[in-house]
Amino acid sequence: MERLRRLARILWVMSRYRLDRLIPELGWTSANVPVTVRLLWWFMPLRLIPAPAPSPGRCLRLAMEALGPVFIKFGQLLSTRRDLFPDELADELALLQDQVPPFPGAEARQLVEQALGKPVEELFAVFDEEPLAAASVAQVHPATLHDGTSVVVKVIRPHVEEVIRKDLMLLHTIARFLEKYLYDARRLHLVTVVQDYERTIIRELDLVYEAANTSQLRRNFPDSDHLYVPRIYWHFTRENVIVMERIHGVPVSDIAELERRGTNMQVLAERGVATFFTQVFEHNFFHADMHPGNIFVDVTDPESPRYIALDCAIIGTLTEEDQSYLAKNLLAFFNRDYHQVAKLHIESGWVPAGTDVVEFEHVIRELCEPVFQRPLKEISFGQFLVDLFQTARQFDMEIQPQLVLLQKTLLNIEGLGRQLYPELDLWQTAMPFMERWMANRVGPQAMLKRLVRDLPSLIESLPQMPERVMEAFGDIKRLQASAERQEQAMASLTRALERERTARRHRWLGGSVLMLAALLLWQPIAQAAAGGQELPIVAGVLAAATGLVLLVRG
């Protein structure tokens, strides 16, 4: 019953904002939408409700904000899929904010005491029940440890997991319905996207997971002048409570305050790009939720500003193969080697193996050449990848889920960098990282590094080498014996099949002879028997006997 009420609430919000207007916006025409869906759309009662003044994209954003945390965060994820949605719609989804009224501070205090097993007075010298910030999943309270250290206490909202899981079930139902009837939903692997999203948002409810990510990111940037990550206080951290160092900085979105403090915007923008590519190509561990609300700037030294990263619940990683293909693709784009780009897309499995390389190369050239006529600093790196994915759709390129977080983060970083410093040349800033990564993976120096890295384990395994070689020889002999047995079995099976074929031929021939004897000799034998002639009778009987023998032998 409760699920039905929630479904009714969703349908009411959809009706209120007339989300049916999005169907033409998404390009779902009669050519690519089944008849049943078109009929359902045309005869829906909600079409009788007057359309609100805001655009369909803005109405979608308002509807998702009205439906709560699951839909808000899912909309934020969909805002990165500019290869599927129009820019106006993606821009609106990117504006989704999960600022919500806080829950009572006394309830937060009670949750902290239950999680940590002690009264707040024993845990902290000061605990402020007035939150610093409140979001859809958690809220943050300032506090002071007994040694005078300023900290913040993040507390998961009560009962939020129950609400999230119910909404996730509905999202799964919607995704399965869309995949059944819409090609774009199948190409997007919408069910898989929802599954990945479910893992992401459920992890956001586990603050121990966030704390571990924060500690790892902090360890990756020790004493860095590019990025600072707050310290975690593990003895105060549980699944629904996390305590970390309180930071003081300027929100990265507050451009006016940064300029008032004399911040070197070029350095700040370039350090943001450098930090991103360091995480992707050197650490393979990147903060994948770097929207302005999670980034502050330390302007203690305005000429050397440093980022402060918060909320590490969403972390991205790539396999070594994806790293390699991504770096090779970007370098090939920079060098305008379109044939290499096409080959890499096919080799990586991003487009089907049977794709015509030459045709794909021509399409990529048509996309890239107009772009490269502009100065590099005017080229949007993230938008370029979006355009590439849109172009590759005609070759049935499927969305790579492992690249979704990367593209989302890249778009955020580039947009932020251009906002801070419009002259930012992201390509020039990124090139050294990709070239260094390739140099570390390919060539004699890379081989030597791998040898040095693997040498201790190789030396350790040397004493067992003779035994392993003998075991390998034994395995080879067993495989050979098994192969011989299989060969004998195949020969035996072949002979049996041949015997069966011969038997079938005998049965067919015997049956045919019997039928022929019956048809041709029945009347003569009857006449001979009536006239007392024995020879035809004997011949007929012998023919029948011969056919019977052949039939039996078959």
Q: Give residue-wise pLDDT tens across range 57-102.
A: 788 888 887 887 777 877 776 665 555 567 677 778 777 766 667 8
User: What pLDDT is stored for residue 108 in this prediction?
Assistant: 94
Q: Which of 157-171, 248-262, 413-427, 533-547 has the highest mean pLDDT?
A: 248-262
Catalytic residue ranges: 289
Average pLDDT, the chain: 77
| Span of 292-306, 340-354, 516-530 with lowest mean pLDDT | 516-530
User: What pLDDT is stored for residue 66 in this prediction?
Assistant: 81
User: What pLDDT is stored for residue 154 in this prediction?
Assistant: 96
Tens of pLDDT, residue by residue over 261-280, are 999 999 998 898 889 888 88
DSSP β-bridge partners for residue 309:
295
- Above pLDDT 90, what percent of the chain? 21
User: What pLDDT is stored for residue 107 in this prediction?
Assistant: 94
Please report where in the chains the tokens 């090939």 appear, as a residue: 332
Closest CA to 233 of 307, 309, 327, 151: 151
Q: Between 330 and 29, whose confidence is greater? A: 330
- Give the contacts of 402 (CB within 8 A, at least 6 positions apart): 318, 319, 322
Residues in the chain: 554
- Nearest-angstrom CA–CA distance, 395 and 360: 8
Q: At what angle do helices 320-334 and 338-347 cross, to 10 degrees?
A: 160
pTM over 0.75: no
Q: Between 441 and 354, whose confidence is greater? A: 354
DSSP secondary-structure letter at 282?
I
**Rg, Å, the chain Cα set:** 36
Tell me the average pLDDT across 402-407: 66
- Nearest-angstrom CA–CA distance, 118 and 110: 10
Count other C-beta atoms under 10 Å from residue 285's C-beta. Answer: 18
CB 112 within 8 A of CB 241: yes
Closest CA to 74 of 175, 159, 153: 175
If DSSP codes are grouped into helix, strand and coil, which group holds residue 393? helix
DSSP secondary-structure letter at 99?
B
Which strand (E) or helix (H) includes residue 510? helix 465-531
Q: Between 478 and 308, whose confidence is greater? A: 308
Q: Between 143 and 192, whose confidence is greater? A: 143
What are the two backbone dihedrals, phi and then psi, of residue 294, each rounded to the nearest 5 degrees? -105, 5
- Nearest-angstrom CA–CA distance, 113 and 120: 6
The amino acid sitting at 480 is Q
Say yes or no to pLDDT of 408 above 90.
no
Two structure tokens written together for 198? 């479910």
Count other C-beta atoms under 10 Å from residue 155's C-beta. Answer: 23
